[in-house]
Structure 1
Amino acid sequence: MSETQSGDALVSFRGVQKSYDGESLIVKHLDLDIRRGEFLTLLGPSGSGKTTCLMMLAGFETPSHGEIWLDGKLLNRVPPHKRDIGMVFQNYALFPHMTVGENLAYPLKLRKLSASEIAERVKKALGMVRLDALAHRYPGQLSGGQQQRVALARALVFEPKLVLMDEPLGALDKQLREHMQLEIKHIHERLGVTVVYVTHDQSEALTMSDRVAVFKDGIIQQIDTPNALYETPSNAFVASFIGENNRLDGEVVSVDGTLCEVRLANGVVVRAERAGAEAARPTAMSIRPERVRLGLLAAPCETRLSAQLIEQIYLGDHVRLRLALGPAQGFMVKVPIGDVDTAWQAGQTLDVGWMVKDLRALAPQDA
């Protein structure tokens, strides 16, 4: 293991930058350790640098600056086919003239394995994705979900240390996509292989990952467990990008340890958890829609305000209510269907409440 790489890291990016024109940086000084056996998702909007990082790790792009290490080996000048990395793409990238079995055998033949070993590994990989009966079919005879399973099996069949997945479920419909998310997660848990997964779908990232790195403008804003990203976002961008979020802007009027008081634009002062906000400075506060209570349920809350109900949106197991809370016209509240008061009507003024710990005062980065 190189000293450049920390003990439990399989992959290390060290001071990596990427520019296509020599001026603007798509990736800005990336330092990142990917732990052995973890499922790490690179998440961010289009153009944030996440796919470029994956392509540099795969060898399809070269860093403009810095080093990438894999298991103690410097990768910068190693061609893609010699990195021993499995890849799964959105468009499957299967060979149409080869059967499913032949597609899976192809990377094993390149590695000059014996015919018996190839047959055994292909059989095992097909069983893993539950396609045992389809070995002799061609990709064109398979559904999109089956093709994606074949692509996944082909990436795993030669038992690589690392598998990279670039928006692999983007072409599938919602139900199949959700099913495949769990399937990939369970395969990862069984095999213990290291997976780096790129998506712009935050619910997919939360469902599948051990850790998520949130990218914006070529910089990782926060890297954490899904739970920590959702419950304790480090800035306003992460709060808005991960899950649903209500943002309340104001100015910090006092600080008391881990708490602070913030004056909203309408003059109301509220207390919040201090999470990056500074005294006498603007702050963007974050609260999740499911942490807000309405009507009679707001009575025991530490913070209570009044808001006007603008509309209700019925979603089966819960109702989303849009409220005007001071200057915030799009303040959303999520109410389980059993807690909805049938008397609530648009235009009505409702009590709104929450606990202080659920309102986080963040540094006001543009979100």
Structure 2
Amino acid sequence: MSQTDLSAAPGGTAQNASSQATGQSVSSPHVEFIDVRKTYDGETLVVKNLNLEIQRGEFLTLLGPSGSGKTTSLMMLAGFEVPTSGDIRLAGRSIARLPPHRRDIGMVFQNYALFPHMTVAENLAFPLSVRKMPKAEIGERVAKALGMVHLSQLGGRRPAELSGGQQQRVALARALVFDPQLVLMDEPLGALDKQLREHMQLEIKHIHESLGVTVVYVTHDQTEALTMSDRIAVFNNGIIQQIDLPDRIYQQPCNSFVANFIGENNRLNGIVREVSGGICRVELKTGQSVFAAAVAAHEPGQPTTLSIRPERIGFQPTQDEAVTSLEARVLERIYLGDHLRLRLAVADAEDFMVKVPFADSAEAFQTGHAVSVCWAAKDCRALDPV
């Protein structure tokens, strides 16, 4: 599948992809980007023709490297940036020129953005008092929000007296306390250590599931996106390369960028020699043949890059015509507790990685040993050449 401005998913447009991935109707999206473009210098487009629909109650992650357009898209939705052209709609109403404070959107930043001179409870009460809610209701909402993030006993403390994880919980509670139509999160866990970050990923996911609030989440952390999201939109160069369910993004990348950006990926380059029934035969530079799903391989003679995940590779070849078997040599063993990562020399590649359960590999697969690797054609994808 080739890159287009936003048709990088089965079914054509992102709108179609949205309905297919979630099973929801496209008649009433909660958030819409309609032909949105953004440039800062009048020449270079940071976001290119963005057409995107987000359903009510969905957790959508915008994932991509720095400069890919994901954060700019989020900032336009929040109101901190204005689209150069196009429209953004929330619950059917255009908000592209509406100031941030009138959008009814909660926001969670990486640096928490808490008021240091206020207590935790006062931080949570602030967005409610701005909305001129009665004091009794403010107290009830603050107490409920603190309970939701397990900080009921810390309402009287100031942010400086809290740990990073506690501050992030306060920021999350403040974004949710006024029941916003939409919650935006801009790399909110980036400042936390690995263990706490993983804990907060699950906590945010559980809160989302219990409240049913619509969340748009920005990160460059692929594991975070796979763990938390209903759908993932993978950005690069201002374009959504693919938008889909997390397992489809990982197992069925539509192009080489997505395959390489999401998870660990083995690549082999070659030329398409035959295409039949959705399977192609690819000739490697070494003359060996590999069978693969013909994702972007349509005509004999065209170059392609093959993508194979390390966990899809085995060591027991069969006689199945749709299975590829190649000779390899073990270059390095990397011990990771429950499994080994083996770096192999396969064809002309010397960075070919395979994951093996440690119980099966304690004595086998020593450095320098010759082995055979194999995989099914359906687990190998012939994509655009890189």
TM-score by length of structure 1 reads: 0.96
Match of 1:18 among 34, 38, 63: 38
Find the residue that maps to 2:30 and give its secondary structure: strand
1:320 alignment partner in structure 2: 341
- Distance in 1 of aligned mates of 2:332 and 2:265: 17
Contact 1:52–1:61 (Cα < 8 Å) also in 2: yes
SS for the counterpart of 1:347 is coil
User: Does the CA-based 8 Å contact 1:254-1:260 persist in structure 2?
Assistant: yes
Match of 1:126 among 140, 143, 146: 146
What's 1:217 paired with?
A: 237
**Alignment correspondent of 1:267:** 287
Partner of 2:350: 329
Determine the C-alpha separation between the residues in 2 that align with 1:340 and 1:26.
47
**Which of 299, 306, 316 is the matching residue for 1:285?**
306
| Counterpart-to-counterpart distance in 1, 2:151 and 2:44 | 46
Bigger Cα displacement from structure 2, 301-310 vs 250-259: 301-310
CA distance in 2, matches of 1:254, 1:178: 45
After superposition, give the CA deviation of every residue in 1:292-341 in whole Å (9 maximum; x if it has no partner): 113xx345772211011100000001100000101111000011112215
Per-residue Cα deviation, 1:165-185 (whole angstroms, up to 9, x for no partner): 000000000000000000000
Tell me, in whole angstroms, the C-alpha distance in 1 between the residues paired with 2:298 and 2:371.
31
What is the identity, as a one-letter code, of the residue corresponding to 1:303? T
Structure 1 residue ranges (4+ consecutive) displaced by more than 6 angstroms after TM superposition: none
Q: Distance in 1 between matches of 2:56 and 2:194?
A: 30
CA contact (8 A) 1:129 1:149 kept: yes
For structure 1, list consecutive stretches of 5 or more residues without a partner in the other structure.
Answer: none
Match of 1:257 among 259, 262, 277: 277
State the percentage of identical aligned residues: 65
Q: Is the 8 A contact 2:275 2:297 kept in 1?
A: no
Aligned to 2:212: 192
> Deviation at 1:344?
2.2
**Residue of structure 2 in register with 1:171 after alignment:** 191
Report the secondary structure of 1:229's partner residue.
helix
Q: Which runs of 5+ in 2 are unaligned?
A: 1-24
Q: Which residue of 1 aligns with 2:363?
A: 342
Once residues 203 and 29 of structure 2 are traced to their aligned partners in structure 1, the CA distance between those partners, rounded to angstroms, is 25
- 2:347 corresponds to which letter in structure 1? G
1:29 maps onto 2:49 in alignment: yes
| Residue 65 (1) aligns with residue 85 (2) | yes
What amino acid sits opposite 1:148 in the alignment?
Q
**Residue identity opposite 2:100 in structure 1:** P
Structure 2 residue 248 is matched with structure 1 residue 228: yes
Amino acid at match of 2:376: M
Q: Pick one of 64, 68, 71 that aligns with 1:44.
A: 64
Q: Cα RMSD (Å) of the superposition?
A: 1.2
Aligned residues: 359
Give the Cα–Cα distance (whole angstroms) in 2 for the partners of residues 25 and 343 of structure 1. Answer: 52
Contact 2:333–2:342 (CA under 8 A) maintained in structure 1? yes
Letter of the 1:293 partner, please give it.
G
Among 181, 187, 202, the alignment partner of 1:182 is 202
TM-score, with structure 2 as normaliser: 0.91
Aligned equivalent of 2:264, options 236, 244, 251 = 244
Contact kept in structure 2, 1:278 and 1:363, CA below 8 Å: no
Q: CA deviation at 1:277?
A: 1.4
Measured after TM superposition, the shift of residue 6 of structure 1 is 4.5
Report if the CA contact (8 A) 1:13-1:30 is conserved.
Answer: yes
CA–CA separation in structure 2 for the residues paired with 1:77 and 1:292: 51
How big is each residue's C-alpha offset from its partner over 1:208-256, in whole Å with a ceiling of 9 and x where there is no partner?
0000000000000000000000111000000011111101111100100
The yes-or-no answer on 1:155 pairing with 2:155 is no
Which residue identity is paired with 2:360?
A: D
